[in-house]
Amino acid sequence: MLREDSLVQPFLFDDLDIRGSIVQINDAWRAMTAQRGYAPAVRAVLGELTAVTAIMSANLKQPGRLTFQMQGHGPLSLMVVDCTEALNLRGYAKTDEAVDSSELGGLIGDGHLQLTLDVAGLDQPYQSLVPVEGDTVAAVFEHYLAQSEQQPAALWLVANGDTAAGLFLQKLPDADQRDPDGWARVTSLAATVKPDELRNLPPEDVLARLFHEETVRVFTPRPVLHRWPADPEKVKTMLRGLGRQELESVIETQGVVEIHDDMSNHTYRFDADAIHELFAAPDAPPTQH
């Protein structure tokens, strides 16, 4: 039976000054990728990026909207995952040619990772752009976090068509003073996690299996969502801005105006009658000539 819950479970090793999270995205992941038709390798790396985006969003010191974009010159030219402060996820992957590799390097090729963080009170979103360094999504983010936060981090990520999941650990500043061997011991234990366990076991069972000899404090889990309903009014406003003449030209050559929202995975279609109604509405702008 498929699991329906999607959550981020934060925890802390009180005696070691090491924090962590387990993320398991089930129903939200299936909704996010429904009818996308991704190749298994593309779906896997997009799921891993989705899992780590949820973890990092839940760990933000100031709640905000976090977007990760991984772009390169390989057959998988673009992956984008966007997460609001309510942990409402959306995202997509773009492939420019047939996918014949299952490794991140073969999929993305020479590329970069861009972070965009939009926090209330900032004049403009914070952005960071770094090269993609690592053979896996986990390795890319371990390197990124070590450079950006100056604290070691470790990630184990796994995704298939049903679930995107991950285990995250981060060494905090006083960890070596608490226990010089703590970080090495905890990461060695975490490395024994099996993909099926990470996907299918409840987070508390994963923690009990991996760290039964450690003192682990578990915090309240946060739900992860995929709730991006269609917004036809927003699309209509955009179409009105294009002008009636341009839209009628599209109708004449293609028979229909079609708009696809890649991020939220909605398609909007407007035939000739719909375009006429669009500009016949009382609030419609005058026809452009």
Question: In the prediction, which pLDDT does 97 show?
Answer: 80
**Percent of the chain's residues with pLDDT above 90:** 69
Question: In the prediction, which pLDDT does 32 show?
Answer: 95
Tell me the sheet residues that pair with 153: 170
CATH superfamily assigned to domain 6-223: Hsp33 domain (3.55.30.10)
pTM of the predicted structure, to 2 decimals: 0.90
Tell me the sheet residues that pair with 129: 114
Mean pLDDT (the chain) is 92
Helices (H), the chain: 27-33, 40-58, 104-108, 137-149, 175-178, 182-190, 195-200, 203-210, 232-242, 244-254, 272-280
Q: Residue 133: phi, psi to the nearest 5? A: -120, 105
Please calculate the CA angle 241-244-248 and round it to the nearest 5 degrees.
130
Q: Out of 113-117, 191-195, 239-243, which region has the weakest mean confidence (pLDDT)?
A: 239-243
Q: Is the pLDDT of residue 289 over 80?
A: no
* Distance separating alpha carbons of residues 161 and 37, to the nearest angstrom: 10
Nearest-Å Rg of the Cα atoms of the chain is: 22
Q: Based on the number of CB atoms within 10 Å of its own CB, is 59 exposed (0-12), middle (13-18) or buried (19 or more)?
A: middle
pLDDT in tens, 101-143: 888 989 998 899 999 999 987 888 999 999 999 999 999 999 9
Q: Where in the chain is the domain with CATH 3.90.1280.10?
A: 232-280
Q: Is the pLDDT of residue 31 over 70?
A: yes
Q: Is the pLDDT of residue 288 over 90?
A: no
Q: Where in the chain is the domain with CATH 3.55.30.10?
A: 6-223
CATH number of this structure's domain 232-280: 3.90.1280.10
The arithmetic mean of pLDDT across residues 61-79, rounded, is 94
Query: Smallest Cα–Cα separation from 11: which of 2, 1, 24, 22?
Result: 22
* Distance separating alpha carbons of residues 91 and 77, to the nearest angstrom: 14
Question: In the prediction, which pLDDT does 115 show?
Answer: 96
Q: Based on the number of CB atoms within 10 Å of its own CB, is 183 exposed (0-12), middle (13-18) or buried (19 or more)?
A: buried
